[in-house]
Amino acid sequence: MRKLKRNDIIQARNLIMKSQIHPKWFPEAKVTCACGNTFTVGATVPEIHVEVCSLCHPFYTGQMKYLDTAGRVEAFKTKQANKATKFVSKTEKRKLKKQRKIQEEMDRPDTLTALRKSKA
């Protein structure tokens, strides 16, 4: 009979699944599509809601269809509008940074006793 080495013992420990670290498995998870199609798969959640499945996806059906998931167009437009209103040039940013630095210097206590009082 072969004597077990330390490496063999470590490999055997790694093969055993740990019980507390794995998520709960649902072998009959229900998937519901926006088109009304439902099917079951194995997953870590009991129910999954999707917007596109193989029955309604343009690649599989051959029909062109406009898909707007969660208002991406509107989100893009609002993001662009916010960028246009908040534009600040580099020179203005530098001036603001310099002013903040000067203000921090002015707000800092002059003496050690003043510093101790401000900390308390």
DSSP for 14-77 reads HHSPPSSSSPP-EEEEEEEETTS-EEEEEESSSEEEES--TTT-HHHH--------TTHHHHHH
Residue 119 inside a domain? The answer is no
Residue 110 inside a domain? The answer is no
- In angstroms, the CA 43 to CA 83 distance is 40
| CATH classification of the domain holding 40 | 4.10.80.400
73-100 residue pLDDT tens? 788 888 888 776 667 789 999 999 999 9
In terms of phi and psi (left: phi > 0; alpha: psi -120 to 50; beta: otherwise), the region of 71 is left
How many domains, the chain?
1
pLDDT of residue 12: 67
14-23 residue pLDDT tens? 666 677 788 8
Residue 27 inside a domain? The answer is yes
